[in-house]
Amino acid sequence: MCGIVGYTGSKQAAPILLDGLEKLEYRGYDSAGIAIFDGKNINIKKATGKLKVLHELTHGGAVMPGKSGIGHTRWATHGVPSENNAHPHYNADKTIAVVHNGIIENYIKLKKRLEDRGYVFTSDTDTEVIAHLLDYYYKGDPIDAAIKVMHRVEGSYALGIIYADIPGKVFAVRKDSPLIVGKGADENFIASDVPALLKYTRDVCYINNEEIVELSEDDIIFYNTDGEKIEKEFSYIDWDADAAEKGGYEHFMLKEMNEEPKTVHDTLMPRIKGDSIVIDELTLSAEEINKIRQIHIVACGSAYHTGMTAKYIFEEMARIPVTVDVASEFRYRDPILYPEDLVIIISQSGETADSLEALRSVKKQGILTLAIVNVVGSSIAREADQVMYTNAGPEIAVATTKAYSAQLIALYLLSIHFSKARGLVSDEEVKLFIRDLKKLPDQIELLLHNEENIQRFANRYIAAKDVFFMGRGIDYAISLEGSLKLKEISYIHSEAYAAGELKHGTISLIEEGTLVAAVLTQEKLFKKTISNMVEVKTRGAFVLAVTNEGNTEIEKAADYVIYIPETNHYFTNSLAIIPLQLFSYYVAVGRGCDVDKPRNLAKSVTVE
């Protein structure tokens, strides 16, 4: 949610800030603004709506000269989307400008105290409190002022700050909301996420909680909350810069779907050594794996659905009990955890607020944690005991596709690794698993080549009001993700059900022509699910089926069938999800929806 970019250096700041904000559009926003120091004054331009409005207002930044500044894309929380509520925010005499991601939980109390001291508020935001607090505490030392503000403010925040009387410097503060520093040649940056900086630098440092950063053209200084200078290490980001561009595709989502074969290959192959699976980054011994009493998988959205798939695999293959929780529920239900348990946190960004807080609550209890994340050096990656990276590269579209596929691969590998350590799979079985895993990239490519047929089918359901997905076991987990993809980008009401649950109420919603998508990839469950398909079809449903090659019996119960190539039954999600992603994409395109930036959604959800 929201995006921050800051720049100081030898070049004009405004065009760089606008470019960086454009790379962060996937985070979701409803207004945008930039603040530039021109050598004498801090000038601010803000606009509601898409970033192109601000771009046109500033003529691409040309009308705002200056070599240092901060920019922001805002997703409204406190106060409606408006130019007045957009960031950056000034203090009263316009000598301090602030951008803020996060939520200030005690802003009402702080606002009242400031008003009692004569401060006048001009917006409805919690962020304006920060600008006035900085004004109140600033006596010439920006680090001291930042520390005092941090001691008064409760909640989450990433701040970018500039002062009119400190030319050429940008300050940043972070607590529970992601913020990184980029180091360039005669220029330095802050940003909410890596894509904003890829064009300018690959050397980045992740700001830890309650740290302060001072940037100038040729220096970066980090401080703790005692005002002491601290040393930090920079990481090199080896993502291909072109991966953050559309590359000729109409949408990032379509591009990223077509990158799934490479993503699967890149996540898979570094962990396959001959006939063995070797996960070098994990330090768990076979003895420690055998002591695991239960696995708790904690995630949000699509990552939660990969966890649902993993539950079936871990329990059947590794014989370890597994619970899967939505992170926001896990945090507050006071789960029963034992010292021998393992908690797996799954997050594409590694900054998902609820998942991060769940991780922290578990670590306080001394429970072993393992993170599956895409972003190197992200908060969840740094704070977990063990980390396994998915090599998906930057994913820009809000609706995840390739990151979802990469998470599945990581979980497959982890399941096999644990099963082998527990003596439950033989060397020969591991060879067969590896054989089928290696086939997945080419099989996904084959399914992507069927996009024209899926597009023609999708065009029939552009005006659909309700769509239902169903499956059993792993097929239920696939259905959950298929349903989520459709609803989040096309705005069609869609639900997924364990197939046996349809008759417990939901079947009453089936009308003539209602689309029901049935997923059947688990051979032992074919007959049961086919009977559910017949139930809905006799009530007027049009049945779309996704199933394995050779399961021709299904054609008697389905109106339209999509076949997936043969693979091990544990790995079918990686194939069955592809036509469902394509279907959702083409329905959304046909409805004229903004596929990459669906309304009200954000790529990285960093507030509760």
Active site residues per annotation: 2, 603
Q: Which residue spans within 487-597 are E strands per DSSP?
A: 493-498, 515-520, 542-548, 560-564
DSSP conformational letter for 88 = P
Cα dihedral value 89, 155, 177, 480, nearest 10 = -120
> How far is residue 409's CA from residue 372's CA, in Å, rounded to a whole number?
11
**Cα angle for residues 38, 44, 48 (degrees, 5° grid):** 150
> How far is residue 112's CA from residue 133's CA, in Å, rounded to a whole number?
12
Nearest to 410 by CA among 309, 318, 481, 315: 309
Long-range CB contact pairs, 503-507, < 8 A, 24+: 503/532, 503/535, 506/468, 507/535, 507/536, 507/539
> How far is residue 121's CA from residue 304's CA, in Å, rounded to a whole number?
41
CA 81 to centroid of chain Cα atoms:
23
Nearest to 146 by CA among 220, 223, 92: 223
Q: Which two tokens stand for residue 334?
A: 């006071």
Scanning the structure block, which residue is given the tokens 């192959």? 269
User: Which residues are within 8 A (CB) of 415 and not within 5 positions of it... i.e. 6 or more apart?
Assistant: 310, 313, 314, 317, 318, 570
- The helices-and-strands tally (H runs, E runs) of the chain is 18, 27
Nearest to 474 by CA among 323, 320, 306: 306
Q: What is the 3-state secondary structure (H, E, C) of 540-562?
A: CCEEEEEEECCCHHHHHCCCEEE
Whole-number Cα distances in Å, 274 to 99, 430, 431: 51, 11, 9
